[in-house]
Structures are given as C-alpha cells and as structure tokens.
Structure 1
C-alpha cells in the first residue's frame, strides 16, 4: 500500500488572523481560499511540500451541526484544547526567534528532547498548539 498525507485540518476562529500568521509569520503559501454556506476554508502549505496542505477551517465545519455543538467546539478552541500540528525545521532556534519576534505566543522555548529532537512550541491566533522540531540525529 502506498499512502501519503495530503491534508491536515486546523480549526480557526478568525481566518484573516490565521492567514496573517500562517502566511506572513510562518512563510506558508496560500493554495486555496474557498467560501461555502457562510464558512471559509483556507489551504496553506510549505513551498518545500507542494503535495501537503494545511486547511484552516471553521470550528465544527459542518453545516448541519447544532448550535450547541458549535458553541462547545468554539469553547474548546478558545481554551486551546484542540490538537495542533508539528512542523519540522532545519534550525529550531532561528525558527523560534522569527516567530517570537513576530509576536507569536510562546509555549516552550527551544529544548532538547529525550526522543531526539530540539523543539519549541507556540499558539496560533486561534489557540492551537504548533510545535517546530529539528532532528538531532541527522
């Protein structure tokens, strides 16, 4: 079986703030910007990985979701309790400095982990945790 990751999804509550962060701070390129039924999906990705997209979607992107479910998802997002994404980088310290200097909310400064990476963590504007890891074994 030959399978590869195509897209991953991150819930965001403000697409314009998310776009400014993912495009302008992280340097990801915008690949798609789609509106449908009052919702918006932005697809961004690394120029180094043209076949992998990160979709910035509304919390609970389901037109049939109940108001109570939408409220519950918005509350989880606001608390930063939804899962985020791990990125790889060739220089964790430089990546950390760039994101911090652009105003990124620091969760963890660069740290050597026992599982073979040096990583750091931030929250995106919606509260999702993003980790940036540099392999120490290469």
Structure 2
C-alpha cells in the first residue's frame, strides 16, 4: 500500500537562490541543504505540517512543457496570497481567477526565482 509522495523534483539554475525564494517568499522550511557530488547540492524543502518535500535538481534533469506549471500548491486563499506575493515584489504571471475546471477553485500563477511557473490554488471545498 502506498502512503505518500516523498518528494517532487523541481529544476533550478541557482540552488541557493531557489532555497531562499521558497524559504523566504513561500514560507517553506529547509529540510536538507548539503553538498552532493562534485559541485552539486542536495536541497529538500518542506511546507510546514506536510509530508511531501520539494527537491531542487539541475535544470537539465527535469523537463516541463513551456507554459505548464512545474509545481501546483494549495493555499488558504489564492486572492490573498496573490496580494501578499505582489506586495513582496513577485510578478503575477496570471490570475487570480476562477478555475475553468471547477467554479469552487480560485487560482493564481506566479514565476519563481528560477523561471518555473507555480500554480497556487484555493478551494471553497478544501477541508470540507
């Protein structure tokens, strides 16, 4: 029986810059930050209270189709999160808007420090 996803790999160009963005802007915690092989880094980030981690890898190790989110996250309120991020100087790529796939979902798309598209969504039915 499967229990959970351990981690998802996200392509980055600058490991320290990505770590700082996900820690300082999105509020994740650093689970591991260690050297890994010649010139490599082994960085895992976690959302407080969640089991699944985010792992940074070199850009050439993961491919995501252009215009497609590399990561989808759930937040309490997409509109409030968009406003908070905008105030922090983060450019909103698109949204916030009502999701065409579900009228109870609000979403916003941002670009992280590594040019990955990140979808943030909230649902009126989340946790219900």
Question: What interval of TM-score do these two structures reach, taking the shorter chain for normalisation?
Answer: 0.7 to 0.9
Tell me if the contact between 1:40 and 1:58 (Cα under 8 Å) persists in the aligned partners: no
Tell me if the contact between 1:81 and 1:128 (Cα under 8 Å) persists in the aligned partners: no
Matched, 1:15 2:18: no
Matched, 1:113 2:99: yes
Aligned with residue 72 of structure 2, among 75, 86, 93: 86
Question: Which consecutive segments of 4 or more residues in structure 1 shift more than 4 A?
Answer: 79-83
Cα offsets for 1:87-111 (capped at 9, x unmatched): 0011111111121221222111210
Higher strand share: 2
The TM-score, its normalising length taken from structure 1, stands at: 0.78
Distance 1:99 1:136 in 2: 21
Length, aligned pairs only:
123
Distance 2:25 2:109 in 1: 14
1:96 corresponds to: 82
Gaps of 5+ in 1: 62-72
The TM-score, its normalising length taken from structure 2, stands at: 0.84
Gaps of 5+ in 2: none
- RMSD between aligned alpha carbons? 2.2
Cα offsets for 1:112-138 (capped at 9, x unmatched): 113221000001111111011001334
